[in-house]
Chain A
Amino acid sequence: MSDFLKIEGLKAQIDADGTPKEILKGLDLTIPKGEVHAIMGPNGSGKSTLSYVLAGREDYEVTGGSAHFKGQDLLELEPEERAALGVFLAFQSPVELPGVNNANFLRTAVNAVRKARGEEELDAVSFLKLAREETSRLSMSGEMLKRAVNVGFSGGEKKRNEVLQMRLLKPSLAILDETDSGLDIDALRIVADGVNSLRGPDFSSLVITHHQRLLDYIVPDRVHVMAHGRIIHSGGPEVASLLEKQGYKQFLEAAA
C-alpha cells in the first residue's frame, strides 16, 4: 500500500514581514488510496496553508516532518512535478491570468501533464471535444473557454473552472480548498457530481470545507478537525454533523 498520502509531523512557516510565523505545527494525516477525506477547521487554522504546502508553494518553508505521496517524498518535488505525479489543488481563490486564453491554458496544462506521465498529447480537435463535454457536464457556458483564465469570472464561475481543470487533468489526489464557497445550490450539486464521478480506486481527495452541506453530496470516508496547525480530531462523516450543530468548542477544549 504505497499509493496514498502520508503526512507526518509536518511543520511549516511563513515569513511574515521579516519574522517567521509557524502555521503548521506538527500535522499528521493519512489518506489511503481511493478514499475521500474532509478537513474542517476554524478560519486561520492553516487549512489553505496545508494545501499550498502539498502543492509546492515556495513561500512556505517546511521546517519539520514529511509528506509522501505514492511513496515519493512530495516535499522534494517542484510544483509541476507534483502535478505530473497526480496532485491537483483547486484554489480557494483562483488566480486571474489576463490575456491568457482559457482553452489554450487548459490544453497546454493537460498536455504538459500527459507528457510528463508518458501519455500521448491531445491534439486541438480531441481536446476541444473533451473540453466541451466537460463544460456542459458542469453546466458551464462554452464561452468560458474563450475568455481569459478567470478574468472577470464570477466567484461561482471561478470555482467551476477549477473543477473543470481537475476533471481534465485527471489527478489521483485532488485537494479542494473550499470549492463549495460561493456556489449556488444547483452549482453545489453539479460540482459535487463532478467530484463523485471521479471517485474510484485510483482517486483520493482531500476536501476542505466549512459546511456540512457539501459533505452531504460528497460523502467522505473520514472527517478531520484542524485547529492551530494540527489535526485535533478524526472520525467518520458524523463528525461533520456534530460540528454543524455544536461548533468547534468541544474539540478545541478536548485538545487543549
Chain B
Amino acid sequence: MPAVSETREAVEKLAKSNYEWGFETNVEMDLAPKGLNEDIVRLISARKKEPQWMLEWRLKAFRAWQEMSEPNWAKIKHPPIDYQDAHYFAQPKKKAGPKSLDEVDPELLKTYEKLGIPLHEQEMLAGVEGAGQKTPVAVDAVFDSVSVATTFRKTLAEAGVIFCPISEAIIEHPELVKKYLGTVVPVADNFFSALNSAVFTDGSFVYVPKGVRCPMELSTYFRINARNTGQFERTLIIAEDQATVSYLEGCTAPQRDENQLHAAVVELVAMEDAFIKYSTVQNWYPGDENGKGGIYNFVTKRGLCKGDRARISWTQVETGSAITWKYPSCILAGKGSVGEFYSVAVTNGHQQADTGTKMIHLAPDTRSTIVAKTISAGKSDSTYRGLVRMQPKARNGRNFTQCDSLLIGDQCGAHTVPYIESRNMSARIEHEATTSKISEDQLFYCRSRGFSEEEAVGLIVNGFCREVLKELPMEFAVEAQKLLQISLEGSVG
C-alpha cells in the first residue's frame, strides 16, 4: 500500500524535526525537569496547590500508566514517542515560541488571513512569544473580551451554573470533583487516559444543577477563551436531572502548539432527562506540506447517560493534527437514554486519522445514532472505527449507523471498521456505508455556474457533510463550512 508507506515516511521525517517545536524547546524558567516519574507528578500537584486526595489519585494513575503500553490497534503509524524526553510541567507564560510572525510557516499565516483573524489573534494562535500571555487559564480575562467574559460569568452564576478551570474546581468544589472524576473514564482505561490522569494541568469543569437550562451556549463563552488549550486537557461536565447544556471546544483557526503530543480526557455525566451537547471543532496544526511540525492528538472522550432518558450528543469536525486517535463514546446506562455521534473528519496532505465512536447500550429502550463523514484528500489516510454493543439488558435497543467516505484524488485512503456486538435478540442495529468521489461532472457543473474549482469542492464537501454540520451551534456551522473548504485547498487539479 503505497499511500501508507509514504505517510509513514513523512511521519518519520516529521519525527526527526519535531525538536524544533516540541519536546526540546529551550525554556528558561519555571519548568519541571524532563521526564516522568512520581516526583514530577508530586510537583505538578504541589504547584496546583491540590489537596492530598488529588495527589493520591494522580499517583494511582501514574502507577497504572507505568504498567501499560501504547495501544497499537489503530490504523496509524508514528515513530515511538519517548515519554521521558518531555517536560510535564511548565508555566504557560514561560513557553517559548517563534519570536514574531516572521518565523511562522507562511502557509499557516495565509490560512489565518482567509479566516479573517486579526493580527494579534494570529500571534496568539501561532504561539508567538509574548502574545496574549495574560491568559493562564480558560476562564480568566482575555485580551479584548474582558468585559464580555465578566458578563458571561455573572449570567452563569445567577443560573447556578459552575463553569471554571478544573484546577479551580478541585479546590473550590472538591465534593463534586471527587464524586465524578474518573467515573466515566477510569484512570486506567487506556494508556493515554492514564497518562492524562497523572499529569493533567488544565481543562474545564461544568456543573449544571437540577432543572437548569444553561442560559448560554458555553461555546460563545469558551470561544474567546479557547486559546490556551493545553497538552493534557481534562474536562468534566455534569448535568443534573432535567439540566441542559451545550458546550463547544476548539477553534476553527489552526492552532499551533510546541507540544507535539496531546492527550485530553473528557468526561460527561448526564442524569435523568438531562441533555449534554458537546461540539468540537479541532484544527490543530497538521504540519507543513511535508507533514513537519504536526500534532499527535490522542483523545479519550466518553459520556455516561446515567439517568433515565438522558441524552448525550457528540458533534465533531476534525480537520487538524498530523495524527488523530479519538473515539467519543456514550454509555447508555439509563433506561431510554440516547447517544448521538455526528462526525466530520477531514484529512489532507500526510494526515492520519483513526476516529469513530462507541455506543454501549446497557439498558432497555436505549437508542443511538451515528453519522460519520470521512473526507480524504492528498496522501492522507482516514479510518472510521465504530463499536455498537447491545448488552443483554438492552431490550429494544436501537442503533442506526451511517458512514460515508468521500475521496478526493487517488492517493488517499478511507476505511470503515464497524464492530457490532448484540447480546439481546430484540435489539436492532442498522448500518449503512457509502464511498464516493467528487465527480468531474459535479465540478464542471458548479464551475459553469461561476464557482471556482476550490469553491466547487467546498460546496460539494459541505453538501456531503450537511447532516453533521447542522448539528453544530449556528455560528460555528458557518465557520466550519469555511474551514472545510480551506482544509481542502490545493487538493484537486
Q: Which residues of chain A have a CB within 8 Å of any CB of chain B?
A: 52, 55-59, 78-80, 82-84, 88-89, 91, 94-101, 105, 108-110, 112-113, 116, 148, 165, 169
Residues of A within 8 A of B444 (CB): 52, 55-58, 79, 95
Query: Using Cβ atoms and an 8 Å threshold, which residues of chain A touch B441?
Result: 95
- Residues on A with C-beta less than 8 A from B445 are 91, 94-95, 97
Measured CB to CB, the closest approach of chain A to B198, in angstroms, equals: 43
- Chain A neighbourhood of B467, CB < 8 A: 99
Across the two chains, which residue of chain A brings its CB closest to B445? Answer: A95
Residues of chain A within 8 A (CB-CB) of B453 are: 80
Residues 430-449 (chain B) with a chain A CB within 8 angstroms: 439-442, 444-449
Residues of A within 8 A of B451 (CB): 80, 108-109, 112
A108 CA to B465 CA, complexed, in Å: 18
Chain B residues whose C-beta falls within 8 Å of the C-beta of A89 in the assembled complex:
448
A112 / chain B contacts, CB cutoff of 8 Å: 449-452, 455
Q: Which residue of B lies closest to A100 (CB)?
A: B463
Tell me if B464 counts as interface (CB < 8 A to partner A).
Answer: yes
Asked if residues A84 and B450 are in contact (CB atoms below 8 Å), the reply is yes
The verdict on A83 contacting B449 (CB below 8 Å), with A58-B444, A99-B467, A112-B455 known, is yes
Q: How far is the CA of A55 from the CA of B418 in the complex (A)?
A: 44
Chain B: minimal CB distance from A15 (Å): 12
Determine if B448 and A79 form an interchain contact, defined as CB atoms under 8 angstroms apart: yes
Give Cα distance in the complex from A169 to B448, angstroms.
Answer: 11
B459 at the interface (CB under 8 A from A): yes
B460 at the binding interface (Cβ < 8 Å): yes
| Interface SS of B by simple majority | helix
B459 touches A113 (CB 8 A): no
Contacts of B459 in A (CB 8 A): 97, 100, 105, 108
Interface residues of B in 111-159 (CB under 8 A from A): none
Residues of B within 8 A of A80 (CB): 447-448, 450-453
Given contacts A95-B442, A100-B460, A112-B455, contact A56 B448 (CB under 8 A): yes
Q: A55–B442 contact, CB under 8 A?
A: no
| B residues less than 8 Å from A98 (CB atoms) | 463-464
The verdict on A97 contacting B449 (CB below 8 Å), with A105-B459, A112-B455, A148-B463 known, is: no
Query: Bound complex: CA of A52 vs CA of B447, how far in Å?
Result: 12
Q: Do A165 and B449 touch across chains, with their CB atoms under 8 A apart?
A: yes
Inter-chain contact B450/A99, CB cutoff 8 Å: no
Residues of A within 8 A of B173 (CB): none
- Which residues of chain B from 443 to 493 have a CB within 8 Å of any chain A CB? 444-453, 455, 459-460, 462-467
**What residues of A have a CB within 8 angstroms of the CB of B449 in the complex?**
83, 105, 109, 112-113, 165, 169
**Given A95-B441, A95-B442, A112-B455, do A79 and B447 touch, yes or no (CB 8 Å)?**
yes
A56-B444, A99-B466, A169-B450 given; name 4 further pairs at CB < 8 Å. A59-B440, A79-B448, A99-B467, A100-B466
Interface centre among B450, B453, B455 (most CB of A within 10 A): B450
B225–chain A nearest beta-carbon distance, Å: 31
Among A79, A95, A148, find the residue whose CB has the most chain B CB atoms closer than 10 A.
Answer: A79
B residues in contact with A88, CB < 8 Å: 448
Report chain B residues within 8 Å CB of A82. Answer: 448
Residues in B neighbouring A97, C-beta threshold 8 A: 442, 445-446, 459-460, 463
A79 / chain B contacts, CB cutoff of 8 Å = 444, 447-448
Residue of B447, B460, B463, B466 touching A83 (CB-CB under 8 A): B447
Closest B-chain residue to A88, C-beta based? Answer: B448
Q: Please, could you name 30 A-B residue pairs with CB atoms under 8 Å apart, sorted by A? A: A55-B448, A58-B440, A78-B447, A80-B447, A80-B451, A80-B453, A83-B447, A83-B449, A84-B450, A88-B448, A94-B445, A97-B446, A97-B463, A98-B463, A99-B462, A99-B464, A100-B459, A100-B463, A101-B463, A101-B466, A105-B459, A108-B451, A108-B459, A109-B449, A109-B450, A109-B451, A110-B450, A112-B455, A113-B450, A165-B449
Residues of B within 8 A of A113 (CB): 449-450
CA distance A55 to B443 in the complex (A): 13
| Residues of chain A with a CB closer than 8 A to B442's CB | 95-97
Pairs of residues from A and B, 10 with the lowest C-beta to C-beta distance, nearest first: A99-B463, A100-B463, A112-B450, A99-B466, A79-B447, A95-B445, A109-B449, A113-B450, A83-B450, A55-B448
Q: How far is the CB of A92 from chain B (nearest CB, A)?
A: 12
A89 to B449, CA, bound (A): 9
State A57–B447 Cα separation when bound (angstroms): 9
A83 → B minimal CB distance (Å): 4
Chain A residues whose C-beta falls within 8 Å of the C-beta of B464 in the assembled complex: 98-99
Contacts of B448 in A (CB 8 A): 55-56, 79-80, 82-83, 88-89
Residues on the A chain within 8 Å of B446, using CB? 97, 109
Nearest CB on B from A117, distance (A): 10
B463: which A residues are within 8 A, CB to CB?
97-101, 148
State in angstroms the CA–CA spacing of A204 and B466 once bound together.
38
Report the separation of the CA atoms of residues A152 and B483 in the bound assembly, to the nearest whole angstrom.
29
CA distance A107 to B449 in the complex (A): 11
Determine the distance from Cα of A177 to Cα of B22 in the docked complex, in whole angstroms: 59
User: With the chains together, A86 CA to B464 CA distance in Å?
Assistant: 29
**Cα distance A97–B439 when bound, in Å?**
10
Measured between beta carbons, the chain A residues less than 8 angstroms from B460 are: 97, 100
- B447, B452, B465: the one contacting A99 at CB < 8 Å is B465
Q: Most chain-A Cβ atoms within 10 A of its Cβ — which of B448, B455, B463?
A: B448
For the complex, what is the distance from the CA of A91 to the CA of B460, rounded to whole Å? 18
Once the chains are docked, how many angstroms separate the CA of A68 from the CA of B135?
61
For B452, what are the chain A residues with a Cβ–Cβ distance below 8 Å?
78, 80, 112
Measured CB to CB, the nearest residue on chain A to B493 is A58
B446 to chain A, nearest CB (A): 7
Q: What is the CA–CA distance of A5 and B291 in the complex, to the nearest angstrom? A: 48
CB closest chain-A residue, reference B373 = A99
Within 8 A of A (CB), among B372-393: none
Minimum CB distance partner of A79 in chain B: B447
A84–chain B nearest beta-carbon distance, Å: 6
CB of B238 to closest CB in A, whole Å: 35
The distance in angstroms between the C-alpha atoms of A96 and B448, with both chains bound, is 14
Contact B447 A100 (CB under 8 A): no
Q: Closest Cβ of chain A: how far from B461's Cβ, in Å?
A: 9
Complex Cα distance A119/B452, Å?
Answer: 18
Instruction: State A57–B444 Cα separation when bound (angstroms).
Output: 6
From residue B374, how far is it (CB to closest CB) to chain A in Å? 15
Please name the residue on chain B nearest to A83 by beta carbon.
B450
A53 nearest CB across to chain B (Å): 12
- What is the CA–CA distance of A95 and B462 in the complex, to the nearest angstrom? 16
Taking each of A80, A88, A94, A109, which has the highest tally of chain B beta carbons within 10 Å of its own beta carbon?
A80
A120 CB to nearest B CB, Å: 15
Contact call A56/B440, Cβ cutoff below 8 A: no
Q: How far is the CA of A179 from the CA of B465 in the complex (A)?
A: 31
Task: Tell me the chain B residues, 199-224 only, with Cβ under 8 Å from chain A.
Answer: none
